A and B are shown apart, each in its own frame.
Chain A
């Protein structure tokens, strides 16, 4: 009979597995919810509602008097400046480290395996880059605020260190992923590593390297605003102050300015990356 049910067909073979994984997920989710004190209803207790309500109603209208706007403008520029200076220092750190660590410029690797000493040096630099980027910039900022005091210096240093780690790693990946033929040919013909980089590797990867740097600059602007919350200057520090004073109107203005800044940086960065191809 054509319509007879195949014995294997009566029951969904995936059913037991689905039940098991659902139960497992719930069993994991419950302690997780407990651990992060997930009680969203506390947001709606009368006390909290009153505080939130007052704070939010303060948002409208945002504070727009000239003096305050001038302050916000100055702090916004500082945020951008901290990000830019941080990226500049990060570049100053990342470029030499990348040049030292990239296997694409290894002379000893031309004739088979890389020598022991160069290999050890490259690995050491890689470890340094990993350490630099695996400590969050906020932690660096906390450290530097303790060392040099409140202000933009801590922010610039924090961004410089973390982003040097990120840029160094990705630069290395970009340089090693491309076609190495041009570079090895130059090295084989006896040009120095720097010459091989300038004439072989750099022209080949310049667009990709720049567009990644621009993208990181955009990220650094967001970071630098956040770093203000631990006292590293800029828009974040002002926002933190206003929040602590429950000045809803000031917070609203700065949030709007911050969003505009992020959108602007996003637009500039994507436009630049489009131009660079």
Chain B
């Protein structure tokens, strides 16, 4: 089994790719270390730089300052070929599941295996899928086994999001970077999906960094919580030590994002007991 990747940020700065040069960076100098196999949830109000952080970690965004080290290598100092193969060991699941509408679910899931496949193998898999078993197993863990042959545009938004997560399970990635994995899921599904994701990562020793909008889910499922606000580190604590006051300070002026989840503190842990106001983004 692949072991996880260690991540270290040293005063990392990054700018949103669309932002102008004068705009303040989405990430102010940020230092953070995540050990191999660790599971971290990143929380914070919208615009805190959560997605930018994930993109920087995924080597999809070149830092404008500071250093990023993945397994003690500086990815941006590597030659292109090595950088590409390093990227194959990372798996970024964007918030909107990146699935072509008319592709079949099986193909969309198997696309996560592409970094390890040659062009010829990839072509062959388009004609007759290779790895049906693995794709089915991954989907089954998210209760989607019977959607294997369905077309992506014929399943619901929540199912699509879980297909996007099932991709992680077949990918050769050793560092999973998951952006808002629960935004389209109802609370019951959300709890199940996050449990599947964390347990799969734990089984394989994979490092997992997830940004989450649902604070209660983050506190319940992740041992370590990183709070981001305005591109700066607000706190970096074990879940048990994240107090209500800290959360209130983190979400100051963005209370509505927190309110939906803290109004009923038990809602997420006692999964699906009753309908809870949802926080869609």
Residues of A within 8 A of B (CB): 2-3, 5-6, 8-10, 12-15, 18
**In the complex, what distance in Å separates the CA atom of A3 from the CA atom of B137?**
5
Alpha-carbon gap, A182 to B95, bound state (A): 48
Apart from A3-B137, A9-B132, A14-B149, list 20 A-B contacts with CB within 8 A: A2-B137, A2-B141, A5-B132, A5-B136, A6-B140, A6-B146, A8-B146, A8-B148, A8-B149, A9-B133, A9-B136, A9-B145, A9-B148, A9-B149, A12-B106, A12-B128, A12-B129, A12-B132, A13-B149, A14-B104
Selected from A6, A14, A15, the residue in CB contact (under 8 A) with B136 is A6
Set of chain B residues within 8 Å of A9, measured between Cβ atoms: 132-133, 136, 145, 148-149
- Chain A nearest CB from B216 CB (Å) reads 27
18 A-B Cβ contacts within 8 A? A2-B140, A5-B137, A6-B136, A6-B140, A6-B146, A6-B148, A8-B146, A8-B148, A9-B136, A9-B149, A12-B106, A12-B128, A12-B129, A13-B149, A14-B104, A14-B149, A15-B128, A18-B127
* Given A12-B132, A15-B128, A6 and B145 contact (CB-CB distance below 8 Å): yes
Interface size on B, residues (CB 8 A): 15
Q: Which of B226-246 contact A (CB under 8 A)?
A: none
Residues of B within 8 A of A (CB): 104, 106, 127-129, 132-133, 136-137, 140-141, 145-146, 148-149
Number of A-B residue pairs with CB-CB distance less than 8 Å in the complex they form: 34
How near does chain B come to A142, taking the closest CB pair, in angstroms? 45
Question: Is A3 a contact partner of B140 (Cβ separation < 8 A)?
Answer: yes
| Interface pair B146/A12, CB less than 8 Å apart | no
Can you name the residue of chain A whose Cβ is closest to the Cβ of B127?
Answer: A18
**Do A5 and B133 touch (CB < 8 A)?**
yes
Give Cα distance in the complex from A3 to B104, angstroms. 21
* Complex contacts, B140 vs chain A, CB 8 Å: 2-3, 6
B109–chain A nearest beta-carbon distance, Å: 12
Of A3, A10, A13, A18, chain B has the most CB atoms within 10 Å of the CB of A3
Which B residue sits closest to A18, measured CB to CB?
B127
Instruction: Name B104's closest neighbour in chain A (CB-CB).
Output: A14
Q: Separation in Å of the A3 CB from the closest CB of chain B?
A: 5
Chain A residue contacts of B136, Cβ below 8 A: 5-6, 9
Nearest-Cβ distance from residue A23 to partner chain B, whole angstroms: 14
**Interface hub of A2, A12, A13, A15 (most chain B Cβ within 10 A):** A12
What CA separation (Å) do A258 and B245 show in the bound complex?
76
Contacts of A5 in B (CB 8 A): 132-133, 136-137
Bound CA–CA A9/B132 (angstroms): 7
CA gap between A44 and B58 in the complex, in Å: 52
Which residues of the other chain, B, contact A18 by a CB distance below 8 angstroms? 127
Smallest CB separation, B155 vs chain A (Å):
16
A2 to B145 CA separation, bound complex (whole angstroms): 10
Contacts of B149 in A (CB 8 A): 8-9, 12-14
- Closest residue of A by beta carbon distance from B149: A13
